[in-house]
Amino acid sequence: MFVRLSAAIAAVSLLGSAALAQGAAKPTDPQIAHIAYTAGVIDIAAAKQAMTKGSNKDIKAFAADMVRDHEAVNKQALDLVKKLKVTPEDNDTSKALSKQAADKLAELDRLKGAEFDKAYAANEVAYHKAVNGALETLLIPNASNAELKSLLQTGLKIFQGHQQHAEHVAAALK
């Protein structure tokens, strides 16, 4: 079961990368803001699910960190778009991310105990890899506003730490 689930998670991570790449036609700053915010909301929802369904103390602690950090970055993003008087613009990439996330949450919701914990940790590794890749190759290079670019660069550093933390937690569950 875990092998099948791992394959499904890998497929979703590839789809997530593809969804992020769909916006490769040079997204605008309002679209970039929406994609970044959506990615944070997705991870917050997954973390809240893990805080209630997780059975491992490290999973619950990791999930609490994800909620805290992603809510803080999303608050900074909202403050910045208000300051700049920019309205984040929904787009195909953020819509695809939201759809994939809803499917993943439903899949994870059917799992229990250690099976849930392993699947959540593996998904967090894959998700952070996809988001970090999109930040590095698509969102940061195409952001034209210096403050937005700076916020995305700060977020990337935080999310790279999340990826390493998720890898550590996932390895400990094996």
Cα 125 to Cα 170: distance, rounded to the nearest angstrom: 8
pLDDT score at 95: 93
Cα 129 to Cα 16: distance, rounded to the nearest angstrom: 10
16 pLDDT higher than 80: no
Cβ-based burial of 11 (10 A; exposed 0-12, middle 13-18, buried ≥19): exposed
* 66-106 residue pLDDT tens: 999 999 999 999 999 999 998 999 999 999 999 999 999 99
- Residue 174: band (very low, low, confident or very high) from pLDDT cuts 50, 70, 90: confident
Those residues whose C-beta lies under 8 Å from the C-beta of residue 62, and which sit 6 or more positions away, are 47, 50, 121, 124, 165, 166, 169
Overall fold of domain 28-172:
Ferritin (1.20.1260)
Contact 100, 73 (CB under 8 A): no
- Residue 65: band (very low, low, confident or very high) from pLDDT cuts 50, 70, 90: very high
7 pLDDT higher than 50: no
Cα–chain center distance at 75: 15
Q: Across all residues in the chain, what is the average pLDDT?
A: 87
11 pLDDT higher than 50: no
